[in-house]
Amino acid sequence: MPATKLMVADALPDSDPQKKVITEFIRLYQYVYKYDKQFPINTHSGYAWDAITIVANAMKKAGTDPKALRAAIEETKGYVGISGIYNLTAEDHNGLGVDLMVMVQVKGSKFGPAE
């Protein structure tokens, strides 16, 4: 099935631009904040992190005025996140291409790269 790279972080090559970001997210999620005790890490964890970070970055740039904030979010380009590399526009609020997904399969009780 298609999934974000978060689900197969250990299998990513060191050259992958997301690997460092994903690895740090996993460290924070599991070992610093221990969220995984109640909420096992999953793709939604990464989506939430990315959304909050994109909004926070936009607020630093534009403040909290709704129109200015929306414009700043829509100007997000090249943000390397947990779920992909975001390039948002007024027409594209997803900002991710399908090329950032990976094919995974369940191996035992864990996700791994599809063979």
Residue 99 has pLDDT above 90, yes or no: no
Mean pLDDT, all residues of the chain? 95
Give me the number of domains the chain comprises: 1
Enter the DSSP assignment of 10.
G
- The residue segments making up the domain with residue 24 are 2-113
Task: Report, in angstroms and rounded to the nearest whole number, the Rg of the chain calculated over CA atoms.
Answer: 15
User: CA–CA distance from 64 to each of 68, 75, 95, 98 (Å)?
Assistant: 7, 15, 21, 31
| pLDDT tens digits, one per residue of 47-97 | 999 999 999 999 999 999 999 999 999 999 999 999 999 999 999 999 999
Residue 107: band (very low, low, confident or very high) from pLDDT cuts 50, 70, 90: confident
Picking from 92, 86, 17, the residue whose alpha carbon sits closest to that of residue 47 is 86
| 3-17: average pLDDT | 96
- Give residue 109's pLDDT band: very low, low, confident or very high (50, 70, 90): confident
Residue 20's CATH number:
3.40.50.2300
Nearest partner of 54 among 78, 35, 20, 27, judged by Cα? 78
Does position 98 have pLDDT exceeding 90, yes or no? no
